Structure 1
Amino acid sequence: MRRVLLEVHRVARDFYRDQLLDAPEGWAAEHLRGRGLGAVLDDSAWGIGYAPDAWTGLTDHLRGLGFGDDELIAAGVAAPTMNGYLVDRFRDRVMFTAENADMEAVGFVGRARGGRVRYLNSPATELYSKSETVVGLSAQCGKLLQGAIPVVVEGVPDALAVDQVGRQWAGISTCGTAITRQHAAMIRQVSPANQIVVAFDADPGGRLGAVRGLDVLMEAFGSVRVAELPPRHDPASLFRQSRSGLNERLASARLLAEFAIDVELAKWGPVLDHVSGQVNALRAVAPLVRQLPSGRVAQQIAGLAKRLDLEPAVVSREVLTPVVRRGTKSRSSRRPQYFEPSAAADPEPDRTP
């Protein structure tokens, strides 16, 4: 069955691609041009297509090639209605192809127009799981093998934008889901570069998503950085405004561990006037400091001492003692232990962490 499902996806991808190329003035092509991404219309590597505005366009095509209804349902490209008719899952959408670690087409992401649900993914199938697939791996494989820095983004248009910034960057989309260990491994297997950049949306959800990806990315890459975008921007919107602006943000990406420290400390703002809040904030970020390159740890310790109004020796002891005791940065010592800031802090707590 797996072989058949892979063939269904290959045929569906080609069908969607032909539909897009047959309507160069249609809304799908105009949508891409309007976002400054018209160049991808001629780039077959991305496999971008269009699902026609018809109930059974793809279904009829696949049936005509001999595929059975059960196979279409199992592949997630069609679904039965309440009346028992089989209809296309994706209709009137710009189509992007999701791939597995072998760069095989195993699912789709469809972008709608108008007031409908903007993005629709394939359902979970024998082949497709959001945690194990990305968009852009095969399209960016050549650049990655030549040393381009992988840039992990949320949306597919973001990956397309990164791709067009220059040969030094390769955009890979997780399709809005959290970065997983499988995602990191997929990218690493085709990337000789030991560095990766995360460029998520400049909103609270994007910042949190970037921080949550730190551990799994550090297992695969020696240097993990985050591109800080202007407020209310994602890579695609910044690219549309300024190609050079996006390139500058990627080039100036900072270490994700340092970014995570800032995000974590921001949670403690209301209680940093009290020593208990300062100490607990230190304990929350200490595991993140230990993930920094050795040459930056001392600088971060000094910075934390100033920001938290604690003695440098106190900060140093909290950060370095677990490393000295274990003799290595074990995975358990690297993972942050998050403390929830309390609404009220003890006004005169013990200063010893």
Structure 2
Amino acid sequence: MFSEEVIQKVKEQNDIIDVVSDVVRLKHTGRNYIGVCPFHHEKTPSFTVSRDKQIYKCFGCGEAGNVISFVMKTKNVTFPEAVKVLAERIGIDIEENNDKKIERAKFDKMYNINVEAARFFYNNLRKDEKAYSYFKNRGINDSTLKKFGIGFAFDGWHNLRNYLKAKGVKEEELLNLGLVVKSPKGSIYDRFRNRVIFPVFDYNGKVIGFGGRVLDDSKPKYLNSPETPLFRKGIHLYGLNFAIKTNMDRTVIIVEGYMDCISLHQHGITNVVATLGTALTEYQAKLLKRYVDKVIISFDADVAGQNATLRGLEILKKENFDIKVLQVPQGKDPDEYIKANGKEAFLKLVNNALPLIDYRLKKAEDGINFLNKEMIIKYVNNVANILATLQPIEREVYVKQVAQKAGVSEESILETIREINKKTSKNEEKTNINVDFGQKLYLEPAYVKGERTLLKLMLKDKEFLKIITNLINREDFIVESHRTIYDLIVNYHHLPDDERNSKIDTKCAENSECTKEWINIQELQVKLGEYDVERMIHDCIREIKKFKLEESKKEIMSKIRICESKGLVEESMDLAQQLITIQKEISNV
């Protein structure tokens, strides 16, 4: 891991205003800068950056951190990767310690083994007439086969194993990368046999795994590498290394299959990626966020494909992408369509892709008979839930469209939306208004503020630290990052304040949540002169205990409902007695 000096150097030489400005448009107001938060959707700016303190804080969603945590979260990278990004930004070299060098060497070797495996499969393809013809018959040319490194695994148990062992690769390394499988009886054999092989690259173009497809009706049809140190399902996107190379307009098309992605690339549409046999995940969305702003999703037209589209849309919406849905006519997939109709016809589909709301409204029409009054009511209720999430002007446009479609008045739809919003507002968390920004702020639970206050007092005075550590230990804290900070304060309490805080700051830097809470604790204002400190400490501990008891109460009530549904009378009575005891404890806290 990096030394404390290196981390401090990276933080000191990367001005947070400059780094944040690469992502957020900031406006100078007084001593600080404000902008629209990159971590949640908002219209009115509530994201504040301080040049003096070199920190950021959002008063809308509560995010906070420093220059390193900002890079970690916006680029979706690890702590070491963020430090390297910032180091490269200011042109300094980072020396890795021996442990880090050894770890890097191990990963480099794993990548090299995968490259050798990919070469082996690629060289096999032309040696098997059936496999080579499969791609030729599907219109894939030699240039594309080479670009994607497509290959073939012969029908044998030890072809790859023997090839790589002859190059000095150990069986343990092959097992670790999922290239071979160990049977219950202990025999080791190739994972991929009699399959065409698609190497999977990470965004840097390194081979991290493989996907294999059978050429007959064998099962499973597709087989991917298992979870390995290099390959994790739901993290990577097939073809991303190619899609980000010349993507000037920061737009990407997401398809389902390898062949859809490959075929579109061959036809000159290169901003295409594919999911790797799984539904779109939050990790993949965050990875895309580094490189694109607009996503066009094109999944299969069958029920499973449509359901995957809807799930994918929700995930992409959370990351604030500009989202559209491309629908291929006659239920064809992109590969079939572009081969039959050509590049220009497919680009026309891209240009006519439906915005998110239009797609959801169109899906709401499925199965609706507009001559049936009950179905019209169902349709209007479904649509009202969709329109309730829109801004007023956007909503007005769509309300007119829906009213004409359903044959009802605009006012009746608006009234339904108002009723939905009333119910939603009642269920929302309590909010507070920040006078500087006019933003609704989440009112954090009392126990969170209580824990922060205790940690702040431990920092302020060694006598307070002694009192608090005699009353509460790390395991009593609810927030994990607070437990970490508690330990750090105790470990470094003997150091001068500046040195202690610097040590804690460096240790917290490795975890963005820990950094966030460390900043929140430092920024917390505790007016000691107005209160009895010992009473304040006991009040904070009381809030923590109360929350834990309330959580226990909820758990017991849930168990009681389960027991009652199963007719377990005695168990229900025992749990009811426990509930009474906890309720008494809550009232006595």
1:140 paired with 2:274, answer no
Match of 1:259 among 351, 356, 359: 359
| Distance apart, 1:159 and its partner CA | 0.6
Partner residue in 2 for 1:48 = 150
1:214 paired with 2:302, answer no
State the percentage of identical aligned residues. Answer: 23
Partner residue in 1 for 2:274 = 173
- Give the whole-Å Cα distance in 2 for the aligned partners of 1:329 and 1:197: 32
Alignment gaps of 5+ in structure 2: 1-102, 429-437, 442-589
Partner residue in 2 for 1:240 = 339
| Distance apart, 1:236 and its partner CA | 0.8
Residue identity opposite 1:130 in structure 2: K
Contact preservation (8 Å) 1:165, 1:246: no
Residue 292 and residue 204 in structure 1: after superposition, are their counterparts in 2 closer, same or farther (change >3 A)?
Answer: farther
Match of 2:383 among 274, 279, 285: 285
| Distance apart, 1:148 and its partner CA | 6.2
- Give the whole-Å Cα distance in 2 for the aligned partners of 1:113 and 1:142: 32
- Give the whole-Å Cα distance in 1 for the aligned partners of 2:338 and 2:131: 19
Residue 290 and residue 152 in structure 1: after superposition, are their counterparts in 2 closer, same or farther (change >3 A)?
Answer: farther
Partner residue in 2 for 1:311 = 409
Count of residues in Structure 1 that have an aligned counterpart in Structure 2: 321
- Give the whole-Å Cα distance in 1 for the aligned partners of 2:131 and 2:393: 49
Match of 2:266 among 132, 148, 164: 164
Normalising by structure 1, report the TM-score.
0.79
| Distance apart, 1:222 and its partner CA | 3.7
Residue identity opposite 1:251 in structure 2: N
Contact preservation (8 Å) 1:165, 1:247: no
Residue identity opposite 2:409 in structure 1: E
The secondary structure found in structure 2 opposite 1:143 is coil
Contact preservation (8 Å) 2:124, 2:152: yes
Residue identity opposite 1:110 in structure 2: G
| Distance apart, 1:112 and its partner CA | 1.3
Partner residue in 2 for 1:10 = 115
Partner residue in 2 for 1:347 = none
CA deviations 1:114-134 (Å, max 9, x no partner) are: 111321111233433321122
The secondary structure found in structure 2 opposite 1:54 is coil
Contact preservation (8 Å) 1:107, 1:122: yes
1:302 paired with 2:403, answer no
Query: Which structure: larger Rg?
Result: 2
Contact preservation (8 Å) 2:202, 2:241: no
Alignment gaps of 5+ in structure 1: 331-353
Normalising by structure 2, report the TM-score.
0.49
RMSD (CA atoms) = 3.2
| Distance apart, 1:293 and its partner CA | 7.7
Residue 42 and residue 174 in structure 1: after superposition, are their counterparts in 2 closer, same or farther (change >3 A)?
Answer: closer
| Distance apart, 1:175 and its partner CA | 2.7
- Give the whole-Å Cα distance in 2 for the aligned partners of 1:110 and 1:65: 23
- Give the whole-Å Cα distance in 1 for the aligned partners of 2:335 and 2:240: 18
The secondary structure found in structure 1 opposite 2:271 is strand
